[in-house]
Structure 1
Amino acid sequence: MSLRPKEMSRRPKMPDEKTDVVSDVLETLRFKTLLFGRFELGAPWALRLPRKVNASFYVVARGGLRLQVEGLAQPVFLSAGDVVLLPRATAHVLDDGTRKVPRDFITHEQLRASSGTAVRLGGPGATTTLITGCFQFGVDPTHPLLRAFPPIIHLSTQESGRTPSLAAAVQLISAETAEPGPGSALVVGRLADVLLVQALRAQAVLAKPGEGGWRALADPAIGNALALMHERPGDPWTVERLAAAVGLSRSGFAARFHALVGETPLQYLSNWRMTRSARWLHESDDSLDAIAERAGYESAPAFSKAFKRRWGMGPGAYRRTPTLRETRLALIDT
C-alpha cells in the first residue's frame, strides 16, 4: 500500500457504543430522497419507466399492481402497504395486471408533467394509489454497500416480523400526500428517508450470499471491524490490528472481510478515508494539513497524492468545485 498512515503505539479498543455504519454511510454520502408524485391510477393502466440516473421507490397506498423489472424473469405483485425500491435505476413496467402484455402506456412525459401533484391517470376501473419518488447519493455511489444492492427490494407491511415503524411510515406518507399542508414537502421527505433506512435494515438481515456488503453488517466480527474504521478512520489500521481487535487471525479476518465486503480491509479503509475527506473539504474550512491528519496521513502531500488518485483532482481543486446542492444537480429524474 503506497499510503503511509501515522504510526501510533496504543492498542485499538472497541468503541463503547458501536458506530452505526449505515447511518454513517448515508450521512457521509449525502443521501437524499425526493418525492415526485401521488397518482390515482384507474384500471386499465400501465407505466413504462426507462433506466434512470436516480433510483426509484414506490409506496402502494391503495389497491395493487404488478411490477416487471428489466432483467428479472418473474414479475413482483404489490398490494396496499407495500414499499418497493429499485436501487439500480433499472428500466421497469408497472401495471394493473389485467393483461399479459400491456398495450397502452402512460408516458414518461405525462409523469414528468404531473410531478409534485396528485393526479388521476388511466381508465375508469378499480383505482390504485401510488406514491413515487427517488433517492440519490451526492458522493461516491461506488461504496460497497451501494454496489451490493439487489435489483429490487420489496418490503411488505403484512410480513411477520416487519417493524411497526414501516407500516406507520407508509400510513403517514399516504396521509400527508393525500392532504398536503404547510411543510408537507419536508415531512414527506423525512418519511421517505425512513422508508429507505427500513430497506437497508432489511438488507442487512436478509441479504443473500451474492449481496456481500449487507451481510457484512450482520457478521459480528466484520461488522465490528467496519464500525472501528468508521469510528476512527484516521487511526493507523493494519490488517493485523483490525483482526486482533475483533478476535480473529490475520488470514481468517482478511478472507472473511473480502468475501463479505468485496474488497480488502485496507482498500475499504483507503476509499472510506477519501470519501470522508471529500466531505470535510466541502463542509469545513480546515487546512489540508488538518484534514490529512484526520484521514490518517503523515503529510498534506501524501494525502493530496492519494486524493487525486481517487477523485481525479487535487483536494484544493475539489474544495473549489460546487457541491451538488449548490449546482442543483439533484434534479428529480422521473
Structure 2
Amino acid sequence: PPVAGVCVLLLSAPTVSAVSLSVGPNLQQFFRGSLVDLSCVDDGQTADGWTVKRTRGGLTEDCGAAPGFGGLLGSYCVVDLSALSETFWCEDSSGQQSDRVSFSVQSDTTGVILEIPALPVRTGSDVILRCRQRNGATVKAYFFIKGSSVGPKPEHIITNITQADEGLYSCSTDESGKSPQSSLRVRDPPKIIHPPPPHCPPPPSTSTNFAPPVETALTCPPCPPPPPHPSSLVVPVVAGLVSGLLLVLVLGGVLFLCSKLKGGGGADLWSCGGDGCLRRSVCLCCESPSCFSTCIICVSTTGGRCGLLMCGNSNQSLQSECFSLVM
C-alpha cells in the first residue's frame, strides 16, 4: 500500500546553538534510495568539533561510525535514505545540539513528490515549489496551499514570504497522483545589534528611579573632534612674528645703508629714472619696491655706464633688468 509522506519536523534540542544542519539538496521529500549531503555549519562555514547524528530504533548514532549510517566525504555526511522517516541533527562533545530535521522518504508506489525546502525560509525571500516524478522530470501540477489549489502549472512561486505563508503544501498530477503533504516553515532573519560609536558618553538620565533599558533605534551621534591644544597655536604665531621682524630689519638696513652712501664722498651723481647712481662710488639706492626686488647696488663701469654689482638673483635675466633700470 502507498506510504504517506512524513512532514519535516524542526524540534528544539535541549541546548540549541548557532550551529545548524546544512542539507543538500535542501528538500523535505525524497524517493527511497536518494542520496543527501549533511554537514554542520556556523554562519556558512564548517563547524569544527561537530558531528552529524541520527536516531534509529531509539538509539543515537554518529555518521560514519554506525553500520549503514552514511559515509564521510570531507566535512560532509553522505546518507542513502532508505527508512521511511529519519531525524538528523548536529551535536558537539559538550552536548550542544542544532535544530533537528526529519525527511519524508517515499516508497516505490508513490508517483510524485513535492519539492519544498527542508530548512526554514527567511521572511522576505522567494520559494519555488515543483512537482517531480520518480524519473526526475518536473511536470505540470495542481498545487494545494493550505486547503486551496492553483494550477495546473509547471511551478508555483511564493514571493516575499511572510509568516502568513506557513502551512501544509502538496501537489497533484492527473497521471501520477498526489504527493504527500509537507510543512513550509518561515523564520525571521537574525537581528543585528550595532554597537554605539566609541568615546560617546552615555545619554543623560531623566529619572533617578531604576528602570530596565529600553531598546531604541537611536544611535549615538558622531563625537566632536577635541579642541586644539593651546601649545599647538604658539609655534605658527611665533614663526610669523619672527619672519615679519626679520623682513623689517632687512629692509630697514638696506634703506639706512643707501641713505648713508647716496651721494656720499663728494662723488658725482648720475640720475637714472629718478634713482641715484654713483659713478665712482659704491651704491645705487633704489627706493621703489620693484627696484628693491631686482637691483640693489650698482657701481660705475668704463664708458660712463652703471653696471651691476649685486642683484636679488645672479641669473642673466635679473642682471639685464638691473642694467635697464640704471642705463
TM-score w.r.t. the length of structure 2 is: 0.21
TM-score w.r.t. the length of structure 1 is: 0.21
Query: Which gives a bigger RCO, structure 1 or 2 (Cα 8 Å, sep 6+)?
Result: 1
Which is greater in Rg? Answer: 2
